[in-house]
Structure 1
Amino acid sequence: MLTDTAVKKAVRQAKAYKLTDSGGLYVHVMPTGRKFWRCRYEWQGRERVLTFGEYPAMSLVTARGKRDEARLLLREKKDPAVVKKLQQMEDLKEANETFEVLAREWHQSQKSGWVPHHASDVIESLEFHVFPYIGNMPIRLLEPSAIWEVLQRIQKRPAVETAHRVRQRISAVYCYAMATGRVDRDPAAAMGKVLSPAKRRRFPAMRKLEDAREVLRAAEAIAGSATTKLAHRFLALTVVRPGVVATCPWDELKDLNADHWLWTVPAQRMKLRLHYKEDEARDHPVPMSRQALEVIEALKKLSSMSPYVFPNDRWFHRPMSENALGYLLKRAGFQGRHVPHGWRATFSTIMNERRPADTKAIDMMLAHVPKDNVEAAYNRAEHLELRKEIAQEWADLLLDGLPPAAALLSSRRFRNAA
């Protein structure tokens, strides 16, 4: 039997030679002086040879352990060479199935059901927060502690809501990997319970009618673009989402008047899952108050030659930036107190207090989906006349004491208002 000293002292010769141990194990000394552990065995009447590794990186003790494993496989009627080859193939597959590879597979499989903006947001969040740290690790070997470090890094920025979203996306990647047979567990599944609680996002908004009027008065009194001010007033009156106003094409509004007072926002422009955006039943009807129609008439003098009701001040063929509305309110002194999206909460608070029996109609005006899935599926009642009544009452309350929309056409200009 060999000793470590004997292997160490073996010198190279003109031809390769063997130093035999036991059980078929030997060290093969090459003419270059390199020494390899090999093992001879018989399989189905034929002699075969396994190579375990190179000395001294692999010691005599380790080589004997490899030999014993091979002999155990032979007793189990398995060819050690075939088992080794299969293991090498599995190792190669595992090395190629990194977290990033699986994450991109998952993203590709899902993005057809997402709107482009969301699909882009998902992959960019993984590219920024996750891939630089664990992207090149085989997903099967990824330890929960490595995932937790990624989430902790985000949470400490601090960005707790982002940490929760990223955890959900990591978990979704693992669910995909489980479904496709690459892993058998999701280590990120329960981590949401130990992250800091995410605060429910609330848009700053006025809750009292007089405060709401003051927002309009102040925003319309400062120097700024007439288009931006009219867009802000129109947003406050219609309580749709700011993006719906900012990108509104004239095709949707040009034929409205006192007799045809229903603005229909197509499902494609609503905040909906992608598979709903082609469903006409998801179009959102918005009753126009008299004051909202006055805004439209005023705008015809400003932007009727643009494809958009509220064009950008610099590029007339483009819609205004949604940020212009927020910038207007910041300059008017309402930063942290009221934002464009806040008009929806202001309307809901004030009108629900005044008309508690009309809560469902008020929710429908905000395009809120009923919590009851059955009701959401079967209740098609739109109560348009009632909603028109509510819209007019809201406009009369909100604009009490304020000048008509046409007065805003003479607004002092502010170069960067939109």
Structure 2
Amino acid sequence: MAVNEHDVVGSNEGELKRTMTFFPALSTVMGTVIGAGVFFKAASVAAVTGSTSLHMLSWFLGGLISVCAGLTGAELAAAIPETGGMLRYIERAYGEFWSFLLGWAQVVIYFPANVAALAIIFATQFKNLFGMSDAAIIPIAIVAAASIMLINFLGSKAGGMFQSITLVCKLVPLALIVIFGLIRQGDVSVSLFPVQAGTQVGGFASALGAGLLATMFAYDGWIHVGNIAGELKNPARDLPRAIAGGILGIMAVYLLVQFAFLRTLDISALAGNENAAMDVAGKIFGGMGGKLVTIGILISVYGTINGYTMTGMRLPYTMGLEKQLPFSDKLVKLNKNQIPYIAGILELVIAIGMMMVGGFDMLTDMLVFVIWIFYTLVFIAVIKLRKTEPDLVRPYKVPLYPIIPIIAIIGGVFILVMTLINQFQLAMVGIVITALGIPFYLYLKKKYK
């Protein structure tokens, strides 16, 4: 359905005007998804795949699944442009209980685990750059997360400005590593065919599943790109182009970065190497140049922490307004800058607790597993709502329906099943923490009935 430039979302004055065209939408998609994962998940993907060919295939398939996921999820984002995003899609399709569980999982796992994991990787790189001891990692991580929280307490304008500045620092190291890493004479030969798992890892399917799980942290963020649907002049035409083009562009960048990594470090040197990004930068640019690129990566990670902090503190606030969390009356309190500071402190405390018990890979794998349970439910909801609400206005419909949603569902189920097989205890921890929300839901529903 074409929408002209005078149309607006809804009929009330003050709602979003449709002014965004294709290229701003494309840059929004790429800016939303690109984060720290491309630099720091290379080590874990290399470790679980054991070969250059399967390493690259994992990143390629992760991108394709993300394209199908983004194209599928965007149908609900365009049809249900309400505050809360995925919470509202889940509620519409499955009811309040599942929506609450998603909110609970995001409050106690997804956002704090993202902040904790990124703060740990920031601290690890900071420690390596300045030659500090391992004992400094947790204190530095806490300072990084707490300092960003304090910046956000100054107001949404301060947090947003900081995010804009760090966006540039995110792209510069990527561009430098891709350009100079590819034109530089590589030290290592990279074999892309035949595609096979390394001899030191398990079977092909389990290695691919573990590799996909790791790449999904780097591709995460596609669920938010549908939120721009309400500001597009022509969502039916431009939204699928922006999502497919944006994620394919991200996939191309990620593959080029990984190829540059593999040309610089042998797969065995890359596997499990938390300092891989710094080692690659040092080899490509030399001592001082490598340190400058590493500082750019650090600023990029710091900015990514800011993005999850800004978003994360607002979710318990929103759920508090709806009386969906314990101590809801406290979580809705705002400071003088109109920031939900109690909700922010809650998220920070949970994140610090996670820093104490888990490393970067453990935390990111757990959060990806938990959130993909709900992502997969979103894909199924697209098909479900097509049947139960055929008259729902859909400014954008997923192309090649139902093929693309089915691919997204299969990809999601594969990631979940392989995580249960390969990392059963980790998956169970995520499921148990999510299920702990059920007693709170039942108690609060009865209390505020």
Larger radius of gyration: 1
Which one has a larger percent strand, Structure 1 or Structure 2?
Answer: 1
Taking structure 1 as the reference length, the TM-score comes to: 0.22
* Structure (1/2) with the larger helix percentage: 2
Higher RCO structure, 1 or 2 (CA under 8 Å, sep 6+): 2
> Scaled by the length of structure 2, what TM-score is found?
0.20
